[in-house]
Structure 1
Amino acid sequence: MASSRSDFAALLRAWRDRLAPADAGFAPKASRRAPGLRREELAELAGLSVDYILRLEQGRAKHPSDQVVGALARALQLSRAERDQLYRSAGLLPPRDGTVSAHVPPGVQRLAARLGDVPIGVFTADWTLVWWNAMWSALHGDPTVLPAAERNLARALFGTGAARDPVLRVRPERGPDTFETSIVADLKDAVSRYPADTRLARLVRELRAESEVFAHHWATRATAAQHTSDRKTIRHPEIGDILLDCDVLIVAGADLRMVTYTAATGSSDAGKLDLLRVTGAHIAVPRP
C-alpha cells in the first residue's frame, strides 16, 4: 500500500510538472520558476484544496476517491491510458467500458482553454458537468461549491438540491418545456447505450421518484434531441440580465457535449460579458 501511494504521488508530481499553464488556460507569468502547473492551479482545476494536493503529492493523503482521481485526471489532461494508470496507482479500478465516460480528451481541454473569453462547460452523456472555465463560473457561479453529485443538469432541472438555484436563473427562448424534454430525451438515449451504468440508472430512478415533471417526460416517446442553437437570458446577481446565444457542440468519439455562450460583437450583451471577463471571474454567485 505504501508503494502504491508513492507511485500515485510520483505520477501526480510528474504530470503536474509536464502540463503547460497555457494549455490549462492560465496566462504565463514572469515569476514562474517551473514550466508546469503550480499546486494552486491544479487545485483550482480539479476543485480541490491546495493542502489536499500537497498531502497527495507527499503520500500523506490516503485512499483518494474515484471522483477525486477522475477530477485530477481531467485537470492534468491525461490520456485514457494515463488516466487508468493513475486510478490503479490509487488502488482503484479504472472506469469500465460500457459506462458513461467522464474523460475529457487533452485536445478538447486545450481547445476550450484557448477560448477563455467564452463561457464553456463540458458535459458527459448524462449531462454531468466535468469541465468548465473561469467565464463559466463567472456566469453561472462556481461549480465547486456544489457536491459532485449535484453538478448534473438533469438534477438541476428536476431535483430539489443546491444545483437548482443557478438553473432557475436561465430562461431559454424556446421555452422551459422544450429544454426539459431535450434533456430527458438525452438521458433515455444514454440509458439505451449504457445499460450497465449503475450510476446513470440510479440518477434516472431517483429523478422519476422525486419529480412528477421528469416522470411525465420519461413516460413520453421522446427521442434523442438534435441540439440546435438557442438564445438564453441569464439573470446574473451583479450584472443583471444577459441575453446570449447558447450552442451545444458534440465532441465526436468522446460522447461529450461542449456548451458555449456568446454574444454579437458590439452588442450590449457582449459588453456585459466583457465586464464579467474583467471582474466577474471573482464574483461569487450566492447560493441558498
Structure 2
Amino acid sequence: MASSRSDFAALLRAWRDRLAPADAGFATTAGRRAPGLRREELAQLAGLSVDYILRLEQGRAKHPSDQVVGALARALQLSREERDQLYRSAGLLPPRDGTVSAHVPPGIQRLAARLGDVPIGVFTADWTLVWWNAMWSALHGDPAVLPAAERNLARALFGGGGGVGASMPRIRFEHGRGAFEASIVADLKDATSRYPADGRLERLVRDLRAESDAFARHWATRPAAAQHTADRKTIRHPEVGDILLDCDVLIVPGADLRMVTYTAATGSSDAGKLDLLRVTGASTPRP
C-alpha cells in the first residue's frame, strides 16, 4: 500500500509539472518559476484544497476517492491510459467500458481553454457537467459551490437539489421550457440504450421518474422528442440583467461528450453584456 501511495504521489507531481499553465487557462508571467501548474492552480482546477493536494503529493493522504481521482485526471488533462494508471496507483479500479465516461480528452480541454471569451461547459452523456471555463461561471454562477451529484442538468430541471435554485429559474427558453425538458429526456433515453449497464445512469432515471411527474410524462412519451442541439436562451443575470444568447451543443466525436457554448452577435447589446462579464465576473476555469 505504501508503494501504491508513493506511485500515486510521484505521478501527481510529474503530471502537474508537465501541464503548461496556458493549456489549463492560466496566464503566464515572466517571473513564473514552476515548470507546470502550481499546487494552488491544480487545487482550483480540481476543486480541492491546497493542503489536500500537498498531502497527496507527499503520500500522506491515503485513500483518495474515485471522484477525487477523476477530478485530478481531468484537471491534469490526462489521456485515457494515464487516467487509468492514476486510478490504479490510488488502489481504485478505473472506470469500466460501457459506462458513461466523465473523461475529457486533453485536446478538448485545450480547445475550450483557448476559447476563453465564450462561456463553455462540457457535459457527459447523462448531462452531468464535468468541465467549465471562467465565462461559464461568470454567466451561470460557479458550479463548484454545488455537490458534484447536483451538477447534473436533468436533476436541475426535474429534481429537488441545489442545482434548481442555482440556475433554472433564471433561464427563459425561446421554444419553451417544456420543449427543452423533452429534449433532455430524449438524450437520457438515448444514453440508457447505449449504456444499459451503467448503474449511476439507471439510478438517475429511476429517481427522476419517482420524483417528477413531468419527467415521468416525458419518459413515457413515444416517440421521443428530438435531442437537444440548439436553442436561444435569455439568462437573467443578477448584475448585468437579461442576456439573450444563442446556445449551441457540439458533440465531441469519440468521447460522447457535449460541449455547450453561448454566443451573441457581434456589436449587439447582449455581446456588450458578455464583454462586461468577461471583465468583471470571470474566475479561474474549473473541471
TM-score (norm 2): 0.96
Following the alignment from structure 1 to structure 2, what is the Cα–Cα distance between the partners of residues 228 and 162?
25
Structure 2 residue identity aligned to 1:177: G
Structure-1 residue corresponding to 2:58: 58
Question: Unaligned regions of 5+ residues in structure 2, if any?
Answer: none
Q: Is contact 1:181–1:222 with CA below 8 Å preserved after alignment?
A: no
Q: Which residue of 1 aligns with 2:2?
A: 2
Aligned CA distance change for structure 1 residues 224 and 35 (closer, same or farther; 3 Å)? farther
Aligned mates of 2:233, 2:210 — CA distance in 1: 29
The letter for the 2-side match of 1:251 is V
Q: 5 Å matches for 1:247-262? A: 247-262=248-263
What is aligned with 1:279?
Answer: 280
Q: Which runs of 5+ in 1 are unaligned?
A: 284-288
After the TM superposition, which residues 118-133 of structure 1 pair with which residues of structure 2 at under 5 Å, given as runs?
A: 118-133=118-133
2:207 maps to what in 1? Answer: 206
* 1:1-288 matched pairs, under 5 angstroms: 1-165=1-165, 166-223=167-224, 225-282=226-283
Quote the offset at 1:253 in angstroms.
0.8
Post-superposition shift, 1:224?
6.6
Residue 46 of structure 2 contacts residue 71 of structure 2 at CA under 8 Å; is this kept in 1? yes
How far apart in 1 are the matches of 2:92 and 2:119? 33
Distance 1:129 1:73 in 2: 15
- In the TM superposition, residue 132 of structure 1 has moved relative to its aligned partner by 0.4
Partner of 2:162, secondary structure, is coil
Q: Is the Cα–Cα contact under 8 Å of residues 102 and 130 in structure 2 kept in the other structure?
A: yes
Equivalents in 2 of 1:135, 1:11: separation in Å?
30
**Aligned-partner residue type, residue 192 of structure 1:** S
Off by >6 Å, runs of 4+ in structure 1: none
Question: How many pairs align?
Answer: 283
Q: 3-state DSSP class of the match of 1:281? A: coil
Identity of aligned residues (%): 87
The one-letter code sitting in structure 1 at the alignment partner of 2:176 is G
Cα distance 1:192–1:227, how it changes in 2: closer, same or farther (>3 A)? same
Whether the aligned pair in 1 keeps the contact of 2:88 and 2:94 (CA below 8 Å) is yes
Q: Quick one: which amino acid aligns to residue 116 of structure 2? A: G
Q: Secondary structure at the match of 1:92?
A: coil
C-alpha distance in 1 between matches for 2:134 and 2:242 = 19
- State the alpha-carbon separation in 2 of the partners of residues 251 and 36 from structure 1: 27
Relative to 1, partners in 2 of residues 1:86 and 1:222: Cα closer, same or farther, differing over 3 Å? farther
Which residue of the partner structure matches residue 286 of structure 1?
A: none
CA distance in 2 between partners of 1:153 and 1:245 (Å): 18
String of CA shifts for 1:261-286, please: whole Å, max 9, x gaps. Answer: 01111111111111110111259xxx
In the alignment, is the contact (CA less than 8 A) between 2:135 and 2:283 conserved in 1?
no
- CA distances 1:232-282 after superposition (whole Å, capped 9, x unpaired): 001111111111110000001110000000111111111111111011125
Q: For 2:99, what is the secondary structure of its paired residue?
A: coil
Q: State the TM-score, normalized to the length of structure 1.
A: 0.96
1:36-92 deviation digits (Å, cap 9, x = unpaired): 011111111111111111111111112111111001101100000000000000000
| 1:253 counterpart letter in structure 2 | G
CA distance, structure 2, for counterparts of residue 85 and residue 18 of structure 1? 16
Question: Aligned pair in 2 of structure 1 residues 258, 39: CA closer, same or farther (>3 Å)?
Answer: same
Q: C-alpha separation between the residues in 1 aligned to 2:18 and 2:53?
A: 16
